[in-house]
Amino acid sequence: MTDNDVRGAMPRDLAWLIGATLLAAALSVRFELSETLLSWTRPWERYQLDELPGILLFVAVALAWFAWRRASEARAELARRRAAERELAGALDDNRRLARSYVKVQEDERKSLARELHDELGQHLNAIKVDAVSLRECAGADAPEVRRAAASIVAIADHVHAVVRDMTRRLRPAGLDELGLAAALENYVEGWRARSPRLRLDLTIDAGFDRLGEALDITLYRLAQEGLTNVSKHANAQRIELRLERAPAAGRSPGQVVFTLADDGVGTHLPQHGGGLGLTGMRERVEALGGRMEVTSAPGRGFRIVARLPLEAAA
């Protein structure tokens, strides 16, 4: 019951009380209740039953005082609970702001590290490869060992460069800053399809999913990244459905982004499944932006993750 409901019920209850009092008074006058009670109690005068009305009046006053005390204590307890709820809501907001700041710092650090790997290490790897190619070309036919060593250096440089490129893509999604979320997800999914040709991966993205804001873009991308990683490790699935939708606005809310990841894998008993770091990290990212994440699963029925994030998080 809200405060408005309580305030609205008070006049009604007071009207009932006044009406009941007037009715009791009318009945007492009509049936001469005091004289009738006195005539009934006169034979037991030695028991002082004529003092009963005064005693009952005192009991009524005492009960009224007792009810007032309990009501005062209830109001005080309610005020303390409301204050505790306000403090808890403030702490929750602070925790969400801290989580958002943590995610932003983490992503900034990843972006910086990816840039350093691409610019510095990639540049030196290219220099090593160029020198090795020059050494291989300059070595004559009478130096086969030098040519083999140079060719080995070229192969190693290519391998390390591929590893660095893959690390850079994991640290910072390729094309997310330049092309937007939809293009980055399509590129990531194409990479998955190339690595896992037996796996059917369906991607559906509604229109208007570009430039939602860095916080939402990187969160949705990381959800897809972590979710697909979990599926590849544990689900043993044949088909995965990845979907991004916009929920319609309601009232003053500008709407929600709905992220859905479902597979047809082995599933699990959720009450017995504590959830690994992957699911925990996904949930923390969603809740940091004021959203909520639901996970449903059952043995033999696959795994389903639905995350709903408010578009206010784009700010």
Q: Are residues 210 and 296 in the same domain?
A: yes
Q: Are residues 92 and 178 in the same domain?
A: no
Q: Is 180 left (phi over 0), alpha (psi -120 to 50) or beta?
A: left
- pLDDT for 60: 85
Closest CA to 40 of 29, 25, 52: 52
d(CA 123, CA 130): 11
Dihedral pair phi/psi, residue 291, rounded to 5°:
-100, -170
Q: What DSSP string describes 264-303?
A: -S----GGG----HHHHHHHHHHHHTT-EEEEEE-TTS-E
Q: Is residue 40 part of a domain?
A: yes
Q: Are residues 180 and 306 in the same domain?
A: yes
In angstroms, how far is CA 292 from the centroid of its own chain?
3
Q: Is residue 208 part of a domain?
A: yes
Burial 58-75 (b: 16+ CB within 10 A, else e): eeeeeeeeeeeeeeeeee
Domain stops at, among 78, 97, 116:
97
CATH number at residue 287: 3.30.565.10
Cβ pair 28, 34 in contact under 8 A: yes
Closest CA to 153 of 177, 130, 129: 129
In angstroms, how far is CA 23 from the centroid of its own chain?
58
Q: Is residue 59 part of a domain?
A: yes
- pLDDT for 47: 63
Q: Is residue 151 part of a domain?
A: no
Q: What is the mean pLDDT of each run of 10 residues along the chain (315 residues)?
A: 60 79 78 70 64 76 88 91 90 80 79 78 82 79 78 86 80 75 86 84 80 81 87 81 82 78 80 63 84 85 88 63
In a 3-state reduction of DSSP, which class is residue 9?
helix
Domain stops at, among 55, 80, 97:
97
Q: Are residues 84 and 204 in the same domain?
A: no
Q: Are residues 298 and 211 in the same domain?
A: yes
Number of domains in the chain: 2
- pLDDT for 45: 64
Domain stops at, among 66, 97, 128:
97
Strand ranges of the sheet holding 239-247, from the earlier edge strand across to the other edge: 200-205, 239-247, 256-263, 303-310, 292-297
Q: How many helices (H) and strands (E) does the chain have?
A: 9, 5
Q: Are residues 178 and 302 in the same domain?
A: yes
Q: Is residue 301 part of a domain?
A: yes
Instruction: Give me the residues paired with residue 309 across strands.
Output: 257
Q: Are residues 92 and 187 in the same domain?
A: no
Q: Are residues 81 and 194 in the same domain?
A: no
Say how many CA atoms lie within 13 Å of 63 toward its Cβ.
6
Q: Is residue 111 part of a domain?
A: no
Q: Is residue 125 part of a domain?
A: no
- pLDDT for 12: 80
Domain that holds residue 35: 3-97
- pLDDT for 270: 64
239-247/200-205 β-pairing: parallel
Q: Is residue 145 part of a domain?
A: no
d(CA 124, CA 7): 76
